[in-house]
Amino acid sequence: MNLTLRIWKQAHARGNGRFETYQVTGVDSDMSFLEMLDVLNESLIEKGEEPVSFDSDCREGICGTCSLTINGISHGPDAGGTVCQLHMRRFGDGETITIEPWRVTPFPIIQDLTVDRSAFDRIIQAGGYITANAGTAVDGNALPISKEDADVAMDAAACIGCGACAASCPNGSAMLFVAAKISHLAHLPQGAPERAMRVMAMVSQMDEEGFGSCTNHAECEAVCPKEISISHIAKMNREFIRAALKSGV
């Protein structure tokens, strides 16, 4: 396969970005998308040119690091997967592919396709945890949890924090990410002691980071690599109202 790549190039956060066009030849259709970018970078290095900066880690669809917008779609054309799980057979010989970083204000560009997603880390630090005494693990049968709650909590916990939800939302909202973290713990007894504090603190931090509000476009659900349902946003809203009424806010 021979491909034309339009890739966003930006030297640093305060630099002026632009699209650069690259030609890649001899691409194997069984390559992953990131392997194809590796081939491009190897050829650029051989020619003494600056390689394209992009993030990757596990390359197994687990870590969420491979944050790319491909032809206008977060993580590319395949539903329920990350960029590292996308294979070149999804594209045609001679096709032009446009590759951009996440486009949302709280994720500033570091270089080229690499963005700073520490805003998500700060939201988690605000309340996405439980406080537990150190010691041996509690017996698995000591805290009875219904099958329904366990399933919903597990679905929410599947969130890998990639940021595709915010990057694809017309409002730049991070509601699906925050809702998944809140809903996960709200369905488990371990999350009960800090339940009200958690939702108030995490929503407040989300707003402080500059993410937009949710207006139910559901684009976040459509591009989520773990297919997390927007029903968790409804759960978060109920948790927030409950906490606000209790605190008198």
Residues 156 and 235 in one domain: yes
* Counts for the chain of helices (H) and strands (E), in that order: 8, 7
Residues 79 and 184 in one domain: no
The answer to whether 153 and 123 are in contact (CB under 8 A) is no
Measure the CA–CA gap between 206 and 120, rounded to whole angstroms.
8
Domain termination residue (choose one: 90, 111, 132): 111
Q: Assess whether pLDDT exceeds 90 at residue 215.
A: yes
Is the model more confident about 246 or about 148?
Answer: 148
Residues 93 and 124 in one domain: no
How many degrees, rounded to 5, is the angle at CA 60 between CA 57 and CA 61? 90
The enclosing domain of 224 has a CATH number of 1.10.1060.10
Question: What percentage of the chain reaches a pLDDT higher than 90?
Answer: 92
Domain termination residue (choose one: 67, 83, 111): 111
Q: Quote the number of domains for the chain.
A: 2
Residues 47 and 95 in one domain: yes
Measure the CA–CA gap between 11 and 78, rounded to whole angstroms.
29
Residues 26 and 61 in one domain: yes
- Identity of the amino acid at 237: N
- Residues 79-119 have pLDDT tens digits of 999 999 999 999 999 999 999 999 999 999 999 999 999 99
Residues 77 and 132 in one domain: no
Residues 31 and 91 in one domain: yes
- Residues 146-197 have pLDDT tens digits of 999 999 999 999 999 999 999 999 999 999 999 999 999 999 999 999 999 9
Residues 97 and 163 in one domain: no
Q: Assess whether pLDDT exceeds 80 at residue 248.
A: no
The enclosing domain of 93 has a CATH number of 3.10.20.30
Residues 95 and 67 in one domain: yes
Query: Which residue segment(s) compose the domain that 229 sits in?
Result: 118-247
Residues 140 and 181 in one domain: yes
- Return the SS3 of 18: strand
Residues 122 and 101 in one domain: no
Domain termination residue (choose one: 88, 111, 134): 111
Measure the CA–CA gap between 14 and 143, rounded to whole angstroms.
51
Measure the CA–CA gap between 160 and 233, rounded to whole angstroms.
16
Residues 127 and 204 in one domain: yes
Mean pLDDT of the residues in the chain:
95
